[in-house]
Amino acid sequence: MVGGDIDENNLKFAQEHYKGRHKIQLFLINAHKLPFTDNTFDVIILYEAIYYLADPEKFIREAQRVLRKGGNLLICTVNKDWSGFNPSPYSCKYFSTHELFGLLKQNNFGNITLYGDCPVMTKAIKNKIISCIKRIAVALNIIPKTMKGKEVLKRIFYGKLIAMPPELSDGMAEYTHPISIPYDSPNFGYKVLYVVGYK
């Protein structure tokens, strides 16, 4: 198993956490030029990062190159068509379901499937009010740009925040299966999208 990040501080945090405990190799990685030989991996995961890539298609071609035949690529990203979507000021491009599908198809991936996760909850009155306030704040461009500022708002609207542990484990939270969704129409019902393609 290999992991990596382009940011040295993120990498140092992971290296300290896994030091001497697991057989995970960690590298400083530029997703546009993966430092691995052809046909090396069975699975490649790009988690919540595609929108920071200056040339996401270059990453897709690199993933195609380093995957073994039959290997799969899994990309997780925010759904830009979700009404509460708020783009990061550091992002380059966000993708719709149709664009994600096309990106993999154009780069020779097959059996491409899209999934939605984290359903948009708008049935409860509180959720409807928060969703409406967030849409207005996004439209007026008054959402804080820093994570600290966003953290304050989340505490106001959602209450006490729970710190994310350095490592996830089975059973630490309730699991819900992502739902298969069509690629050829916008999806407004989920906050998170997954796309899976096979070499």
**Domains present along the chain, CATH in parentheses:** 31-119+169-198 (3.40.50.150)
Q: Name the residue with tokens 């590298």.
A: 27
pLDDT digits (tens, 9 = 90+) for 126-169: 767 777 777 777 777 777 777 787 788 778 777 888 888 888 88
pTM of the model: 0.84
Q: Alpha-carbon distance 118 to 173, whole Å?
A: 13
| Lowest-confidence segment of 46-50, 89-93, 99-103, 129-133 by average pLDDT | 129-133
pLDDT grade for 83, boundaries at 50, 70 and 90? confident
More confident residue, 90 or 194: 194
Environment class of 178 (CB within 10 Å of its CB; exposed 0-12, middle 13-18, buried 19+): middle
CA gap 122, 130 in Å, rounded: 9
Q: Which of 91, 84, 89, 109 shows the shortest CA–CA distance to 183?
A: 109
Residues in a beta bridge with 77: 193
